[in-house]
Amino acid sequence: MIADALLLQLGYNATLVAIGATLLGIAAGSTGTFLFLRKRALVSDAISHATLPGVGLAFIVMVWMGGDGRSLFGLMAGSALSAGIGLLCLNWLTRHTRLAEDAAIGAVLSVFFGIGIVLLTVIQTLGAGRQAGLESFLLGSTAGMLRADAAVIALGGALVLTLILALRRPMTLVAFDPEYAMARGVPVARIDLAMMGLVMAVTVVGLKIVGLILIVALLIIPAVTARFWTDRSDRVVLLAGLFGGLAGYVGAAISASAPNLPTGPIIVLVGFALFAASLLLAPGRGVLAAVLRHLRFQRRVHLRQGLLALAQGQPIYERLTLRLLRRAGLARADGIATERGRARAAKALRDEKRWEVVRADLAFEAAAALYDGLREIETVLTRDQIAEIDARLGGPKGVPA
Amino acid sequence: MALELASTKGTTLARPVPAESPLAIRGLTVSYGQKPAVFSVDMTVRAGEMTAIIGPNGAGKSTLLKAALGIVAPLSGQVQVFGRPLAAQRARIAYVPQRASVDWDFPTRVIDVVMMGLYRELGLLGRVRKSHLARAEECLARVGMAEFADRQIGQLSGGQQQRVFLARALAQDADLYLLDEPFAGVDAATEKAIIAVLKSLRAEGRTVVAVHHDLATVTEYFDNVFLINTTKIAEGPVAEAFTAEALQATYGGRLATAQVDQLARALV
Question: Chain B within 8 Å of A166 (Cβ-Cβ)?
Answer: yes
Same domain membership, residue A298 and residue A207: no
- Best mutation site among B112, B147, B172, B178 for testing chain A: the one with the most A CBs within 10 Å? B112
A9 and A112 part of one domain: yes
Q: B178: which chain A residues are within 8 Å (Cβ-Cβ)?
A: 183
Parent domain of A338: 288-393
Of A182, A185, A233, the CB nearest to B108: A233
Q: Residue A382, exposed/middle/buried by CB under 10 A (0-12, 13-18, 19+)? A: exposed
Nearest to A185 among B90, B108, B154 (CB): B90
Choose between A152 and A291: higher pLDDT: A291
pLDDT over 90 at A364, yes or no: no
Could you tell me if A193 and A322 lie in one domain?
Answer: no
Count: domains in chain A: 2
A230 CB neighbours in chain B (<8 A) are 107
**Domain membership flag for residue A305:** yes
pLDDT of residue A27: 96
Q: What was the pLDDT predicted at B11?
A: 39
Residue B139 pLDDT > 70:
yes
pLDDT of B230-256, one tens digit each? 999 999 999 999 988 899 889 886 666
Q: State how far the Cα of A217 lies from the Cα of A240, in Å rounded to an integer.
A: 12
Instruction: Please name the fold of domain B3-267.
Output: Rossmann fold (3.40.50)
Query: How many whole angstroms separate alpha carbon A237 and alpha carbon A243?
Result: 10
Supply the pLDDT for residue A401. 47
Average pLDDT over residues B125-130: 86
Same domain, A197 and A240: yes
Do A293 and A384 lie in one domain? The reply is yes
- At A47 the pLDDT is 95
Single out the residue in A263, A297, A327 at which a domain terminates.
Answer: A263
Does residue A220 lie in a domain region?
A: yes
Does residue A345 fall inside a structural domain? yes
The closest CB to that of A166, out of B71, B97, B125, belongs to B125
Same domain for A340 and A244, yes or no, is no
Measured CA to CA, the distance from residue A60 to residue A50 in angstroms comes to: 17
| Ranges of each domain in chain B | 3-267
Mean pLDDT computed over A152-162: 91
Task: Tell me the C-alpha distance between A394 and A396, whole Å.
Answer: 7
Say yes or no: A359 and A258 in one domain.
no
Instruction: Say which CATH number the domain at A28 has.
Output: 1.10.3470.10
Cα four-point dihedral sign B183, B184, B186, B187: positive
- CA B178 to chain CA centroid, Å, is 3
Residue A206: which residues within 8 A CB-CB, separation 6 or more? A24, A28, A140, A153, A215, A218
Residue A164 · residue A237 · CB < 8 Å = yes
Residues A385 and A237 reside in one and the same domain: no
- CB of A190 within 8 Å of any CB in chain B? no
- Residues of chain B in contact with residue A183, where contact means CB-CB under 8 angstroms, are 69-71, 93, 95, 97, 178
Using DSSP's 3-state secondary structure scheme, residue A138 falls into helix
Confidence band for B185, pLDDT divided at 50, 70 and 90: confident
A16-48 exposure pattern, b = at least 16 Cβ within 10 A, e = fewer: bbbbbbbbbbbbbbbbbbbbbbbebbbbbbbbb
Cα B229–Cα B231–Cα B234 angle in degrees, nearest 5: 80
CA distance linking residue B17 with residue A239, whole number of Å: 55
- Please indicate, yes or no, whether residues A73 and A141 belong to a single structural domain of this protein: yes
Q: What is the pLDDT of residue B9?
A: 39
Band (A113; pLDDT cuts 50, 70, 90): very high
Residue A112's closest CA among A52, A62, A159? Answer: A52
